[in-house]
Amino acid sequence: MNKAVTNVETASPCLANFIDGRFVTVGGKSFENRNPATGELINLVSEADAVAVDDAVRAARRALKGPWGRMSEQERSAILRKVADGIMKRFDEFLKAEVLDTGKPASLASHIDIPRGAANFNIFADQVLTLSTETFRMATPDGAGALNYAIRVPRGVIGVVCPWNLPLLLMTWKVAPALACGNTVVVKPSEETPTTAALLGEVMNEAGVPPGVYNVVHGFGPNSAGEFLTRHPGVDGVTFTGETATGTAIMKAAADGVRPVSLELGGKNAAVVFADCNLDKAIEGTMRSVFANCGQVCLGTERVYVERPIFDVFVERLKATAAGLKMGDPFDKATTMGPLISQEHRKKVLSYYDKAKAEGATLVLGGGVPDLSGSYAKGSFVQPTIWTGLKETSPVIREEIFGPCCHIQPFDSEDEAVTLANDSPYGLATSIWTENLTRAHRVAAQIDVGITWVNSWFLRDLRTPFGGSKQSGIGREGGVHSMEFYTELRNVCIKL
Ligand code: NAD
């Protein structure tokens, strides 16, 4: 029998978990959710204990057998379109919640995070209607033959564990295909950014998603909701985006019960800028790839390799453009860079700023904390930072910093550029800047990453395979590749 959950409420000053279609605060424990731009308290968040996580998983298992499990793909697809519409109808609420939780400029969240959050539901509502499977006729000794055909079934209950850098976008990137395929989900949003996942619970109810199909449990990783969820035997698969070390822990947890994992992990991405590039485009693209979202994008660039003839001019132009970034009120249209997600993350990023200094880097720009006034003085802002002159063995060049910073290094040949770009335990993304198409194809084929952009960055067609090589992840999501993870193929063999 299901264990009772405590204190069922519809609205609460304490942000509630969303279990079986209802908002639920769990007695006892809560944690603070602070605005990283000002340090001010936004709300308290109810931390799900092991009993609440168990309630959520049980609700999700029941929902598999309920109306959701019996719906046609067309019916599910229509409901998911209503979810997309519901997000767009409440656009301003989602925007405000995302900006308060992350501190990112509203101008960024309003054209990336929220519309992409809605688009994820539409794209997978389409995708599920075009899924095909295979059939094979085979010969048999009696001459009558046999027919094989494959059917796709949902995997079951999916545990979805999310990071804080693009909270709604990355969460719906997993929830939408999982639901389209007929699974049910229990989501553990980041403890730093819990609000939009909870708000989506209201939209799910309004759109007619049956109770238990979408559940949200708040909390942390180890010995909290994240670990309770990924270790729960009632979870049939885990999809995770976050740090490589966390992915390793989750993969170990999923090994009990031999559950599949899809892991989208960290990166230390290179940009390779050839002397024959269009310099205006290369500067504009590198500005975005280094500084967008305050450098907190898994696909962002932290290593820039520039062919020697244009090295000095590239460094000067990137410096001049980055010096124009404006920090402060995220709701002010003039603000172009927000804070880091937390004071703790700021300590981490500043420790790399210190390391670069200690190792004798040439500081081209930044390197510290900006002087902001009023309430933003308490925010977790750091200066946009550019270095040159470090050895490739430096931790600043080897390790993911996840801040608004990059190191720029010259190179002299195409082979050297490829070697430098590939010299990393990570393999998520790269950007190549060249007007020579033959070179672009040749270099792209040699870089060991999941995604290579040529003369662009973050240009995403959601039907394409997305994921990382080496320690940047396992599996691919996007388009049909998401459907592969969120369904299981079964073969039926009929003797004719
Ligand atoms: P994180 O790994 O610290 O946390 C991610 C989530 O995992 C959080 O919800 C956290 O509570 C949970 N968690 C932590 N330990 C856990 C455990 N032992 N068991 C279960 N859950 C646990 O990552 P973050 O700091 O939130 O996000 C930043 C990282 O995410 C960066 O490394 C970045 O590169 C990566 N990232 C990757 C992609 C991608 O697509 N490859 C996209 C965005 C972010």
Looking at the CA of residue 163, tell me the nearest atom of ligand 1: 26
CA distances from 194 to 32, 46, 97, 216, 397 (A): 10, 10, 9, 9, 32
Who lines ligand 1 at CB under 6 A?
161-165, 170, 188, 190-191, 220-222, 226-227, 230, 241-243, 246, 249-250, 264-267, 298, 400, 402, 428, 468, 472-473
Residue type, 151: I
162 given a catalytic annotation: no
298 belongs to the catalytic site: yes
pLDDT tens for 223-253 read 999 999 999 999 999 999 999 999 999 999 9
* Ligand 1: centre distance to CA 242 (Å): 2
For 106-131, how does the pLDDT look when each residue is reduced to its tens digit (9 = 90+)? 999 999 999 999 999 999 999 999 99
pTM, full prediction: 0.96
5-265+473-495 fold:
Aldehyde Dehydrogenase; Chain A, domain 1 (3.40.605)
Between CA 276 and CA 287, with CA 282 as vertex, the angle to 5 degrees is: 160
For residue 13, what pLDDT band results from cuts at 50, 70 and 90? confident
Q: pLDDT tens digits, residue range 156-179?
A: 999 999 999 999 999 999 999 999
Q: pLDDT tens across 70-95, in order?
A: 999 999 999 999 999 999 999 999 99
Render the burial of 70-98: b for 16+ CB within 10 Å, e for the rest: eeebeebbebbbbbbbbbbebeebbbbbb
Q: Using most ligand atoms within 8 A of CB, pick from 101, 161, 345 the residue to mutate for ligand 1.
A: 161
> Is 269-460 a domain of CATH 3.20.190.10?
no
pLDDT at 402 over 80: yes
- Alpha-carbon separation of residue 120 from 176, 231, 270 (angstroms): 6, 27, 27
Per-residue model confidence (pLDDT) at position 36: 98
What residue type is 102 in one-letter code?
T
Q: How far apart are CA 38 and CA 380, in angstroms?
A: 8
Average pLDDT over residues 321-341: 98
Catalytic pick among 47, 264, 477, 484: 264
**What tens digit of pLDDT does each residue of 209-222 get?**
999 999 999 999 99
Delimit the CATH 3.40.309.10 region(s) of the chain. Answer: 269-460
Distance CA 284, CA 289 (A): 9
pLDDT computed for residue 15 by the predictor: 97
Does the pLDDT value for residue 10 go beyond 80? no
Kindly give the pairing relationship between strand 30-34 and strand 22-24: unpaired
* Ligand 1 midpoint to CA 328 (Å): 26
What is residue 392's predicted lDDT score, i.e. its pLDDT? Answer: 98
CATH 3.40.605.10 segments of the chain: 5-265+473-495
Contacts of 168 (CB under 8 A, 6+ apart): 87, 94, 98, 113, 114, 116, 117, 196, 197, 200
Per the residue annotation, which of 181, 298, 405, 406 is the catalytic one?
A: 298
